[in-house]
Amino acid sequence: MKPNFNIDIVVPWVDGQDPEWLHKKNVYEDETSVDSRVNGDERYRDMGTFEYFFQGIKKFATWAHKVYVITDNQKPKFEIDDNRVIFIDHKDYIPTEYLPTFNSNTIEMNIDLIHDLSEHFVLFNDDTILISPTEYTDFFSEKGVPKDCGAFEIFRPFDDFSHIVLNDLKLINDTFDKTAALKNHGYKYWGTSCAKPSLARITGMADSAWLGWVDPHLPMPYTKTLFKTVHKEFPHLRNEQGMRRFRTPLDISHWLVRYYRLATGEFMPSNICKLGCTAVVKPGEEQPEIRKAFSKNKKIVLLSDQPMRKKDFELAKKSMDRLFFEKFNECEG
């Protein structure tokens, strides 16, 4: 089913093994006080699975108008057989004074500046693969309202990246009165959700502060208008975030845009979590979690890697190539 409005796909990508890019990154790391806790090598590691992303988009996202691939003057080495794909360099849309940047939050928070990007788009990660047919209505209503899960969840800061989510939530708490939101559209927080009612979620609703929401690690629908609204609401953020060449605990992320949407009620409640699941890439040939994901009748799988020896990764990659080849061809018949 085709929408009566254009919907694009946006995916940032970096080849973390590219010698020229690595040299540039190392030069700026030497000039900057970089926080290694939020800028580890795993932030830039390429599992060699990006090819699956394009195969999945071509086969299972026929509704997409254009596919914008954001890179730092890089292109994948494999062939891409999809005329919807457009490569966008950082310098094509990010203000010059913020370049070069190695901060994914800066890259994503300036997406609204991409010149020809459609009003409606879905933001993907490069390790998120479509594995069965999707419809645009998985992400937007027929009228173009983004679908989302408004279920409350008390955010628990377990790692160094938690600072960024807390920064996003603080801005929401500084801006929106929760009592008024509950009065105006509280039903959306208990509608079709990604989470069953629990004491923690009841507490999350009852507390006067915004304590957090369920955060699905899935492609996220957005509108350019909402990004621009957020930047207008917080006019200092584009510059402050842009000046952080590498990630810092002071960063804000695109989750701020999503939280703004949830706080204002500008979304259609939907159990978007049911669309996908996470599969950890294991050392060796078996890949049980990927096989399990394929058997769950999901539409999306998020591939999560872990440290492993080169030999183990080569075996894992060989197995993934076979599994995804079989999956994509199985769906042809």
- Per-residue pLDDT tens over the stretch 91-109: 999 999 999 999 999 999 9
pLDDT digits (tens, 9 = 90+) for 275-327: 999 999 988 778 899 999 998 889 999 998 877 888 888 898 899 999 999 99
Question: 259 to each of 19, 151, 252, 271, how far by Cα in Å?
Answer: 37, 12, 12, 16
196 confidence band (pLDDT: 50, 70, 90): low
pLDDT digits (tens, 9 = 90+) for 11-67: 999 998 899 999 999 999 877 666 555 454 545 556 788 999 999 999 999 999 999
Please compute Rg for the chain using Cα positions: 20
Nearest to 140 by CA among 171, 118, 172, 169: 118
Strands 120-123 and 7-12: parallel
Fold for domain 7-147+215-330? Spore Coat Polysaccharide Biosynthesis Protein SpsA; Chain A (3.90.550)
Alpha carbon distance 58, 84 (integer Å): 9
Listed by start position, the domains of the chain span 7-147+215-330
Average pLDDT over residues 195-212: 75
65 in Cβ contact with 118 (< 8 Å): yes
